[in-house]
Structure 1
């Protein structure tokens, strides 16, 4: 499930994976097209990419209630346009979107809308996807599965590539900002079976990573699977 790490300093962009896991060989279909209404699993520590057409809704579910899901949304026609939270926060005047809020791209136009959220609504839009260097900083010497590589590998599995790793929508990740502006890294407050519905405003590629973080307690130190379904 792992491979020798590379350094991004020797690459032309940030699209090169630093290791490999099962994500690369387990796409939901060759080009990421889903069967409508079918529930797919994103295995623990892995990622999946799915095509969602304009007007369709993707439901992302947390079967155990304790798992963070890093989520990205790309314009299917031009992957250099993507859900951008530095732009979305300015657009909605909120740190965390709520049902009815648009999710906008780095070109400041809606790519999707958060339609439903059955959880308490505690998610994160501030923290970068975990990567090889994050785990090195945490004292991990060997390769560790990570969300940045899960993004790269999930896209590669369906024949696509991103040149960068945008800020993800960290579903169910609990990073409270305290009065002194410091933060905590806490387990999710979601419950088993909670889900969000996100409706696409344009043809999209949605990528999800069942976050493999097991050094700090954001997944209750036990990474598990998440599920998703594309609805008509």
Structure 2
């Protein structure tokens, strides 16, 4: 493979273009997103509930999700990290893309009012409620090797193998598994680029609600995050509720928080046309 050496002048010009684009994006974005959703989580109207599933600690689950429906992921019994992946149900080659989600919104901080993109530049989810704001979209999930090192001599389940099982049951392969979103994982990056677990950012009983902006298949794994400092493997059950979400209002923040989100919804509209 041939590598092209760029001149200092070209590098400087590219950086200047990037910084100008970033400045425009940040100027469009709201100066502050809403406060975290209140705890405890309010009851969901029983008539709106489509299905409710409890995922035991260490296990996995997948579900279909229709556009306009939402998922509430509720820790219920205490702190648990929930790994999430998603595919467009009409074309599973379109999948969750956290790199673009972070890049086009200029932040790794996902909270109420943010959106989650696919690799086709369309919006998959709007984060409509979130009591946490402590989610990890950079590190990935546990593996057999990471669990063996962390919990020596203990038989455990891990996120990578769980998602391989999810994919296989959907007729997909390992290579179809996208990068995962870790909900309720208070990971932060320091000035040296190192990842740290900031447990004080999480609350026992945190919840998040994600509204579907296209028809999807969503997979979950309920296993401890690789940075979770608890030396004991004891993930708590989580409750996932699929329900019919209220229609977005004209001032829905997810539709207007950034110029990139606006374009993403325009791409969704073009797909549905």
* TM-score interval (norm. to shorter): 0.7 to 0.9
CA distance 1:135–1:150, change in 2 (3 Å): same
1:198 equivalent in structure 2? 210
Q: C-alpha separation between the residues in 1 aligned to 2:52 and 2:144?
A: 30
| Residue 182 in structure 1 maps to residue 176 in structure 2 | no
| Residue 128 in structure 1 maps to residue 146 in structure 2 | no
String of CA shifts for 1:117-140, please: whole Å, max 9, x gaps.
Answer: 022x11111111212233355474
1:82 to 78, 81, 95: 95
Secondary structure of 1:134's aligned partner: helix
The residue correspondences of 1:57-72 to structure 2 (distance < 5 A) are 57-72=70-85
CA distance 1:134–1:216, change in 2 (3 Å): same
CA distance 1:199–1:218, change in 2 (3 Å): farther
Runs of 4+ in 1 over 4 A off after TM superposition: 136-143, 212-216, 218-221
The residue correspondences of 1:7-156 to structure 2 (distance < 5 A) are 36-119=49-132, 121-136=133-148, 138=150, 140=152, 144-156=156-168
2:222 equivalent in structure 1? 210
Task: Tell which structure's C-alpha radius of gyration is larger.
Answer: 2
More helix by share: 2
Secondary structure of 2:194's aligned partner: coil
Q: C-alpha separation between the residues in 1 aligned to 2:154 and 2:55?
A: 23
Q: C-alpha separation between the residues in 1 aligned to 2:143 and 2:226?
A: 13
CA distance 1:215–1:86, change in 2 (3 Å): closer
Unmatched 5+ stretches in structure 1:
1-34
- 8 Å contact from structure 1 (residues 188, 218) kept in 2: no
CA distance 1:85–1:213, change in 2 (3 Å): closer
CA distance 1:116–1:216, change in 2 (3 Å): closer
Give me the CA root mean square deviation. Answer: 2.6
1:160 to 167, 171, 182: 171
User: TM-score, normalized by length of structure 1?
Assistant: 0.74
- 8 Å contact from structure 1 (residues 58, 199) kept in 2: yes
Q: C-alpha separation between the residues in 1 aligned to 2:196 and 2:92?
A: 32
User: TM-score, normalized by length of structure 2?
Assistant: 0.64
